[in-house]
Structure 1
Amino acid sequence: MSAGTDGTALISLRGVTKIYGSGTTAFPALDGVDLDIAAGEFVAIMGPSGSGKSTALNILGCLDAPSSGQYVFRDIRVDELNRNQRALLRRHYLGFVFQGFNLLSRTSAQENVELPLLYRGEDADRRHAASRRALAQVGLAGWEHHTPGELSGGQQQRVAIARAIVTQPLVLLADEPTGNLDSKRGHEIMELLVSLNRDQGITIIMVTHEPDMAAYASRTVRFVDGHVESDTGAKA
């Protein structure tokens, strides 16, 4: 387990379970997970298919709620929040990167990056300035007006990362961020994530099945059958 310098964690799970179905068809995707993540860590979550790693990421990202147990984020009991409250937490503190990019195909890179700010009600001038800064941070200055169809897979994922960081989140959650990329582009994306973690202090939690991508993280948590089997590289 890993905690901050003051002994507290940015994220803490205690006895978290997630049950799908009921009765004889009930399936425990998570079975009593304990996990602490400190601010500024880069954590890779690994495990075989069905191990619970994606379920854990969805709960950490407030996309789903645990069936039981405690989830604390910055002293907030997330497991006690309703859906709208979780959405607010997600909007203001979390950024997401997915394997499939999830970009709007007929919309420019800049407009794609602006979407989270639009949902937050930011005015146009602030949205434009922030999206340009975010695109520059991921190496896409000058590509603001290109649509996804005019970009390579690696560039599209950079746009997706810019969209995730444009709100200056505390935590970036990445679900197989290199899964749709060739090896060279995958390593470029990982180097970008490392730089965001190192230079901006963004806490990164990444699900991956690729050991060479997990090696970029400072810590690897392995899930098996709904629980944490191993946790390597964690701070004391």
Structure 2
Amino acid sequence: MNGPQREGAPSTRAPLIRLRGVERVYGQGDARVVALGGIDLDVWPGEFVALMGPSGSGKSTTMNILGCLDTPTRGSYRLGDVEVTELDNDGRALLRRHTLGFVFQGFHLLPRVTAQENVELPLVYQGVPAHERRLRAREALAQVGLSGREHHVPSELSGGQQQRVAIARAIVAQPKVLLADEPTGNLDSARSHEIMALITRFNRERHLTIVMVTHEPDIAAYAQRVVHFRDGHVERIDGAGEAA
């Protein structure tokens, strides 16, 4: 089963994410590497965008900048009404904590705690009381189809189930943006499409804005737009987004 390109674009006229002239340079002199050569990109509220490209193309650097894990050398990154490049480390950490959810290829679950406790972690950092944390974590696990697995540790779960826990953890704090970095990279084909169906459902039903890095065209096909990177630049964009 392949995920078809989906029609339709968000109705809001202002982009949620706006990159303008974003450059990222590492090193100096002979060791200087231009990871991003000045990219422009808009992502609209409720949109699902995939980033693709060969290794070294700039897609992962872009994802790190969007996730406030790295900062541009030059250019502007606006998330909503916040100019992210003007924030200090603490400001970026707060933005990550309250606005962004993350799903990684390697799941990144704590191995010695239960699924429920893994899902509660973002709420711990937000200072949510314990009783509310437990309720919200159980609800998030139910939403990803893991009712009854709350007290299993990761080693007692399949790869697909672990990624479902990771998705529950990413959505439990109700982020504005879900950043998914190769979310199916460690899964077989059947589990990959199950996970993509789940991510797509959250995009459609919650209007959750999603930006995903993938190497796989059949996984990228679930997105509304596919942004192709090459040599630190946006080479082309496939699919219809909303015009500014």
Which TM-score band (shorter chain)? over 0.9
The equivalent position to 1:166 in structure 2, one of 168, 172, 191, is 172
Letter of the structure 2 residue corresponding to residue 12 of structure 1: R
The 8 Å contact of residues 116 and 137 in structure 2, kept in 1 or not, is answered as: yes
Partner of 2:5: none
Partner of 1:76: 82
Deviations 1:126-162 (A, max 9, x none): 1000100100111101110000000000000000000
Indicate whether 1:117 and 2:138 are aligned. no
Partner of 1:30: 36
- Secondary structure class of the residue paired with 1:144: coil
The 8 Å contact of residues 10 and 47 in structure 2, kept in 1 or not, is answered as: no
Paired with 1:224 and 1:218, the residues of 2 have a C-alpha distance of 20
How many residue pairs end up in the alignment?
A: 234
The 8 Å contact of residues 40 and 201 in structure 1, kept in 2 or not, is answered as: yes
Cα gap change, 1:51 to 1:101, in 2 (>3 Å) = same
Match runs of 1:147-166 below 5 Å: 147-166=153-172
The equivalent position to 1:102 in structure 2, one of 108, 118, 134, is 108
Partner of 1:135: 141
Aligned-pair Cα RMSD in Å: 1.0
- Secondary structure class of the residue paired with 2:202: helix
- Secondary structure class of the residue paired with 1:87: helix
Indicate whether 1:230 and 2:233 are aligned. no
Partner of 2:66: 60
The 8 Å contact of residues 46 and 203 in structure 2, kept in 1 or not, is answered as: yes
The 8 Å contact of residues 37 and 232 in structure 2, kept in 1 or not, is answered as: yes
Runs of 4+ in 1 over 6 A off after TM superposition: none
The offset of 1:7, in angstroms, is: 2.9
The offset of 1:227, in angstroms, is: 0.7
| TM-score using structure 2 length | 0.94
Letter of the structure 2 residue corresponding to residue 72 of structure 1: R
Calculate percent identity across the aligned residue pairs: 65
Paired with 1:85 and 1:15, the residues of 2 have a C-alpha distance of 22
The equivalent position to 1:91 in structure 2, one of 86, 94, 97, is 97
Paired with 1:93 and 1:75, the residues of 2 have a C-alpha distance of 12
The 8 Å contact of residues 4 and 10 in structure 1, kept in 2 or not, is answered as: no
Deviations 1:65-120 (A, max 9, x none): 11110001111110111111001001001000000000011100000000010111
The equivalent position to 1:44 in structure 2, one of 43, 47, 50, is 50
The offset of 1:121, in angstroms, is: 1.0
Cα gap change, 1:54 to 1:116, in 2 (>3 Å) = same
Deviations 1:38-88 (A, max 9, x none): 000000000000001000000001111111100011111101111110010
Partner of 2:220: 214
Paired with 1:116 and 1:147, the residues of 2 have a C-alpha distance of 18
The 8 Å contact of residues 42 and 197 in structure 1, kept in 2 or not, is answered as: yes
Paired with 2:12 and 2:156, the residues of 1 have a C-alpha distance of 47
Gaps of at least 5 residues in structure 2 are 1-8
Cα gap change, 1:172 to 1:6, in 2 (>3 Å) = closer
Indicate whether 1:183 and 2:189 are aligned. yes
The 8 Å contact of residues 53 and 215 in structure 2, kept in 1 or not, is answered as: yes
Paired with 2:114 and 2:10, the residues of 1 have a C-alpha distance of 39
Gaps of at least 5 residues in structure 1 are none
| TM-score using structure 1 length | 0.97
